[in-house]
Homo-oligomer: A and B are copies of this chain.
Amino acid sequence: MICRALRRAIIEQALEPGAKLPEDSLGERFGVSRTIARYALGQLASEGLVELRRNRIAVVVTPSWQDARDIFDIRMDLERLIVRKIAGKLSGSQIARLKAHVEAEREAHDGPNAVSIRLATEFHIMLASMTNSPVLVRYVSEIAYRCCLTLSLFSRPHSSECGISEHIAIIEALQDGDANKAMSLMHSHLDSVANRALVEPTPARGRDLLDVLAPYAEEAT
């Protein structure tokens, strides 16, 4: 499925924010017609990963700092809801799957940064899927993916060590059924990620002219 492939390419930064996505190039690359490529772009657009401008080439979105704050805010809330829902209700095999995933994260720790970010993200999606709430899964996936984009835009190289140990702590709290502890752990986990990432409203010097002028352009619409 071309949609999934594209999504992953965006998440892993193979396609950087701002990258152009012409329909026929995509179609040719994936061996399908423009129709399919166009449909995939529509999907990705509705997930907030690509920007569709009328009569112009679609591009990978470039999240603004403001967007990033918004998204992290909502993410906090949703993920707290998730841990509250599943604390103490996970089966043994579910716990095992979570632990296995964290193990994979540890193994990928020395690999490429984009992969470790993707794995960390997938941990959260895995938690969401254990609520058996399709809507929750969709929203958290979407938001988490967009956080990926943001992280790789604003943050310095991701030091994922602490993230991994925090994931383990969360699993333990969930296993013990301590919802409050799990919620506060999740909260501080996301908070630390956000604070590490969203250090400044963009350095503002040395950036692309386009980026610098973006806020002014908005106002002149």
Contacts and interface: CB of A to CB of B under 8 A. Distances in A.
A136 B42 contact: no
The oligomer's copy count stands at 2
Interface in A61-91: 67, 70-71, 73-74, 77-78, 81, 85
A48 interface: yes
A31 interface: no
Interface residues of A, number: 20
A71 B135 contact: yes
Contacts of A39: 42
A81 B70 contact: no
Contacts of A136: 70, 74
Contact of A43 (B46, B74, B85, B133): B46
A125 interface: no
Interface in A37-57: 39, 42-43, 46, 48
Given A42-B43, A77-B77, 9 more contacts: A39-B42, A42-B42, A70-B133, A71-B135, A74-B81, A74-B139, A77-B81, A135-B143, A139-B139
